[in-house]
Amino acid sequence: MNIRNYNIYFHTHTISGIIICALLYVIFFAGSFSFFKDEISAWQGNQSYEQHKEEAFPYGTFLDSLDWEYGLSGRDITLYFYPNTTRAYVNLSASKDTSHHQNALEGAYFNYDFVKQEAKSYSEAYDLGEFLYRLHFFAQLNEAFPFNIGYPFGYIVAGLVSFLFLFALITGIMLHWDKIVSNFYLFRPWAKAKTIWTDIHTALGVIGFPFQFVFAVTGIILIINTVLLMPFSKVFYQGDMEKVFEELEYNVDIDRDFVGKPLESVPDIAHLIKDMQAMWPDAFVKRVTMKHYGDESMSLIIEADADRRQSFSGAGFVIYDVKNGEVLRDKSPNGPSSYLDKVKSLIYRLHFGDYGGYFLKIVYFVLGIMGCIVITSGIMIWLVARDKGNIPKRKRRFNFWLSNIYLAICLTMFPVTAFTFIVVKANGHADQSLIYQVYFYSWLLLSLYYSIRRNLSRTNRETLLLGAILSLLVVVSNGLFSGNWPWYTLEHGAMDIFFLDMFWLCLAVIAFISYMKIRKGIAQKA
């Protein structure tokens, strides 16, 4: 490679990397934990999906309670089921029949647990799994940004970071292309600091390149899918987002006029859902919609995905005419997939890693944390390369402060995440407000503390040690406050809760070993 091209790749890789490194670290760290979103929800709620997945949900009792409180006649009712949980988000539209209930014109949106038979608002049902998942694409910034710009600000930031990350990946691999094989096997632990960080950055960057490339591309597509659909809908669909989602087959609907004549009796919804499950074994019911409830025009729409371990892109639906029980339209999730299904599923499955069980989730988590190490090693390379006598003192001071702040923000995420798990478990009734306060305030305080300390080596060591101790206490807190000791959850088949405890225990052991290795290395140098 000629020197001109090398300099172009080097400077573009460095500049794009240092601009986004802290934000990208947050995306990778929070995203790595959100692979276990379902397990985190089960752990926090003390309710294992593995123990209850064979139970039939009491739809009849659920609808009766809703009818008493809201009056269901003439409403559209949609249940959004969370995968691998016993919960669903319930959306009630305003009723087209305003004569039967005083709240007929009021809609509702809430979370319902079919095992506990308990309804909660979105804020009350908010858990750490949801928090970490939404943090990895900066959804919280949508709420915090003080100006209304017409588009979700957090998603725009995440999209820009993903785009710059893809740019940094490509320029990085081009930078090392000529020596990609020889540098891959090169590791010099006894060399100077810049050489060590460079070797780590290069080796882990090359190993994780395919994974990181896939995540950058799928992340960009998912963000564009969210942000750019808004102006697209305004131009071509007069702002009707429902129509856009129908065209893209995200929503299945049927056009039927409200008749205004009540059914003699509403059939058993659970029975129709069981018929669908018998027709398509192992399919996951992801959404149930009841249109014009209680009216002669009532229809039931059940949308399902095929078992992800058997079909990568299977998606189907069945639409019943409730009055006579006839199937109006259907599409099997186990049949041939359309091009649109294949494209959507490929993007989602590759990004979320939900098609290979715990083994694949662990692989994705490890590769995600490797991305975090690549980011921090890149910061250290950038700092050490600019800490030279020929660089003016004011610039060196700025470079150090910038790196110091970046690393303080990044490295404190580990102990802060473990600490929030402990607080949430100790509280027992944590909601969105509490999770926000605990996580963001403790993160701010710890980041400020280590920024003021101005000792990068101690920041690294102490956050590792603190994270190891708190990770162990996560497991202990689950036993103390919920009675869910690992041996208890294992014995009772609560494998999702047991897995998460073992996951935190492994993190504690790895972090403590890493801390001891670093401490031993410093002692040997001294």
Which of 275, 309, 337 is where one domain is finished?
337
On whether both 330 and 407 belong to a single domain, the answer is: no
Q: Which of the two residues, 227 and 365, has the higher pLDDT score?
A: 365
On whether both 391 and 524 belong to a single domain, the answer is: yes
| Cα–Cα distance measured from residue 443 to residue 307, given in angstroms and rounded to the nearest whole number | 39
On whether both 438 and 524 belong to a single domain, the answer is: yes
Q: Which of the two residues, 190 and 37, has the higher pLDDT score?
A: 37
On whether both 322 and 395 belong to a single domain, the answer is: no
Residue 147 pLDDT: 56
Q: Which of the two residues, 393 and 465, has the higher pLDDT score?
A: 465
On whether both 509 and 392 belong to a single domain, the answer is: yes
Residue 485 pLDDT: 95
Cβ atoms < 10 Å from Cβ of 419:
22
Has residue 465 been placed in a domain?
yes
Has residue 47 been placed in a domain?
no
On whether both 521 and 423 belong to a single domain, the answer is: yes
Residue 393 pLDDT: 86
pLDDT band at 208; cut points 50, 70, 90: confident
Give me the residues paired with residue 317 across strands: 303, 331
Q: What is the mean pLDDT of residues 25-54?
A: 90
Has residue 425 been placed in a domain?
yes
Cβ atoms < 10 Å from Cβ of 316:
23
* Cβ-contact 92, 107 below 8 angstroms: yes
Has residue 228 been placed in a domain?
no
On whether both 110 and 254 belong to a single domain, the answer is: yes
Per the structure, the count of domains in the chain is 2
Residue 55 pLDDT: 67
Cβ atoms < 10 Å from Cβ of 108:
17
Q: Which of the two residues, 195 and 116, has the higher pLDDT score?
A: 116
Q: What is the DSSP string of 200-259?
A: HHHHHHHHHHHHHHHHHHHHHHHHHHHHTHHHHHHHHSTT-HHHHHHHTTSS--------
Which segment of 43-47, 201-205, 207-211 scores lowest on mean pLDDT? 201-205
Which of 304, 319, 337 is where one domain is finished?
337
Q: Residue 295 in 3-state DSSP?
A: strand
On whether both 398 and 517 belong to a single domain, the answer is: yes
On whether both 424 and 526 belong to a single domain, the answer is: yes
Has residue 232 been placed in a domain?
no
Has residue 20 been placed in a domain?
no
Q: Which of the two residues, 405 and 429, has the higher pLDDT score?
A: 405
On whether both 332 and 396 belong to a single domain, the answer is: no
* Cβ-contact 496, 39 below 8 angstroms: yes
Has residue 221 been placed in a domain?
no
Mean pLDDT value across the chain = 84
| Cα–Cα distance measured from residue 284 to residue 279, given in angstroms and rounded to the nearest whole number | 12
| Cα–Cα distance measured from residue 109 to residue 98, given in angstroms and rounded to the nearest whole number | 19
DSSP classification of residue 251: S
What token pair was written down for 31?
């995203």
Residue 321 sits at φ, ψ, to 5 deg, of: -85, 110
Q: Which range marks the domain in which residue 306 is found?
A: 56-114+250-337
Residue 428 pLDDT: 82
Has residue 408 been placed in a domain?
yes
| Cα–Cα distance measured from residue 376 to residue 293, given in angstroms and rounded to the nearest whole number | 55
Q: Which of the two residues, 333 and 473, has the higher pLDDT score?
A: 473
Residue 165 pLDDT: 92
pTM: 0.89
What token pair was written down for 16?
């794009």
Which of 277, 310, 337 is where one domain is finished?
337
